[in-house]
Structure 1
Amino acid sequence: MPQEGALLESRTLRFEHVGRVDALDKIKSLAMLPDGVHVRTEDVARYFEVSTGVVRQMTARHRAELAENGMRVLRGSDLRRFHSDMVSLWGAEAGESYPQAATQLTLYTRRAVLNIAMLLRDSDIARCVRTYLLDAEDDLRRGYVDLDRRVTDVEACLGGVGVALQELGPVLNRMSYRLDSLDRRLEATNRVVGAISNRLSEMSADINRVDARVDEVVHQLRDLRRGRKRR
């Protein structure tokens, strides 16, 4: 796991962690402006329990890096528009007077505040944030190692299944051959049964014809008997 000092010295390493803004609230609640997006210099100082001068010095030394993570300075019309928006939100939520900057206002996003946490040396809160980030990274790394081990175990199991399937191959082939043979025998049996059924139908027709012929002969014999009695 990287040492805490590595975050202080490596911009690349800070960039890898700057999206983990959840770390701020894990250590301490960060009071946001009414828009829920920005904080001022004094809010940042209050969070890290340092003076506003320390935050301003940090901002001056790392302005480009912090600007990449959302820090900006408002002046002129942009400042007036922002104040107007904040006054309406502030009044609606708290009913208090919103403190307005006279000529300019530096605003920080949560990413920028986290960036400061990885730069600020003389703050116990900043150290706690850095420690949380690195511990969380270490936990994540261990989780990946454990996941990789489980995937390896699954692959080993699947390899065993593959061997078992190869061994079952000849058995399955024999079973398939026997099933095909049974299908052929069943088909032949069906043909025999069909032929017997046809033959039985023909025999039934023959029997019906014989019955009809017998009835006809019986009628003829009766007629002959009646004729003899009349004579």
Structure 2
Amino acid sequence: MPTEVALLESPALRAERMGRVDALDKVKALVMLPDGIHLRTEDVARYFEVSTATLKRLTDRHQRELTENGMRTLRGADLRVFHSDMLSLWKGDGPEGYPQAATQLRLYTRRTVLNVAMLLRDSDIARCVRTCLLDAEEELRVSYASLDRRVSQVEGCLAGVGSALQELGPVLGRMSSRLDVLDRKLDVTHQVVGAVSVRLAEVSQDIARLDACLDDVARRVRDLGRRTSG
């Protein structure tokens, strides 16, 4: 994990953390221009509780890096258009209450302010922002380590399940073979029962025919007895 000194000294480390603008509001609220996007030099100096001269010296020394992260200076027509846009959004005490720069205006974005926080040494607010960045990174590292352990535990459990399934495979195969044999035996039993049912039906028909014959014999015997006694 990088230290605060490393963050102050390394452009590469600062670049890796330029997306963490949420750290600014965790330390102190930013006062933006009416568009909600930009701040002036005075606004940034007030946020870090340093003089505008201190901030200007810093931005002059690191102008290229800060420009890459959103800082720009407006002059001439661009400045007039920007003031016109801001006046249309201004909610203060009339247009005269909006602070207009006469010749040029240096603008910062949240990303630029975070960049300044990683460069400004003599500001308690900047130090708090850096601490917030590093603490959040440490929390993320700890969370990642915890997640990594949990994933490893799940992988270990899955490995055990895989071994159990491999051992269970032959058992399931034997059970499947036994069930196939039993199924064939049941088919044979069904066939035998079906044949027996057919034979019983035939025997029942034979008994019915025999009963009819016996009834016929009994009737003839009775007729013969009547003729003999008459």
Q: What amino acid does structure 1 have at the position aligned with 2:59?
A: T
Larger mean CA deviation between 137-146 and 121-130 belongs to 137-146
2:228 corresponds in structure 1 to none
Matches within 5 A, 1:82-97: 82-91=82-91, 94-96=92-94, 97=97
Counterpart Cα distance in 2 of 1:158 and 1:71: 52
Q: What amino acid does structure 2 have at the position aligned with 1:63?
A: Q
Q: Identity of paired residues, percent? A: 69
Matches within 5 A, 1:9-158: 9-91=9-91, 94-96=92-94, 97-158=97-158
Q: What amino acid does structure 1 have at the position aligned with 2:84?
A: S
Deviation digits for residues 191-229 of structure 1, max 9, x if unmatched?
45566677788889x79x97xxx7xxx9xx9xxx9xxxx
Counterpart Cα distance in 2 of 1:201 and 1:112: 100
Under a length normalisation based on structure 2, what TM-score does the superposition of the two structures give?
Answer: 0.82
1:228 corresponds in structure 2 to none
RMSD: 2.9
Cα 1:78–1:199 shift into 2, 3 Å? farther
Q: How far off is 1:31 after superposition?
A: 0.8
2:169 corresponds in structure 1 to 169
Larger mean CA deviation between 194-203 and 161-170 belongs to 194-203
Deviation digits for residues 102-144 of structure 1, max 9, x if unmatched?
1111111101000000000000000010011111111111111
What secondary structure is seen at the aligned counterpart in 1 of 2:128?
helix
Q: How far off is 1:72 after superposition?
A: 1.2
Q: Which blocks of at least 5 consecutive residues in structure 1 are unaligned?
A: 226-231
1:183 corresponds in structure 2 to 183
Larger mean CA deviation between 12-21 and 73-82 belongs to 73-82
Under a length normalisation based on structure 1, what TM-score does the superposition of the two structures give?
Answer: 0.81
Cα 1:95–1:184 shift into 2, 3 Å? farther
Q: What amino acid does structure 2 have at the position aligned with 1:169?
A: G
Q: What amino acid does structure 2 have at the position aligned with 1:113?
A: V
Counterpart Cα distance in 1 of 2:49 and 2:126: 9
Counterpart Cα distance in 1 of 2:179 and 2:125: 75
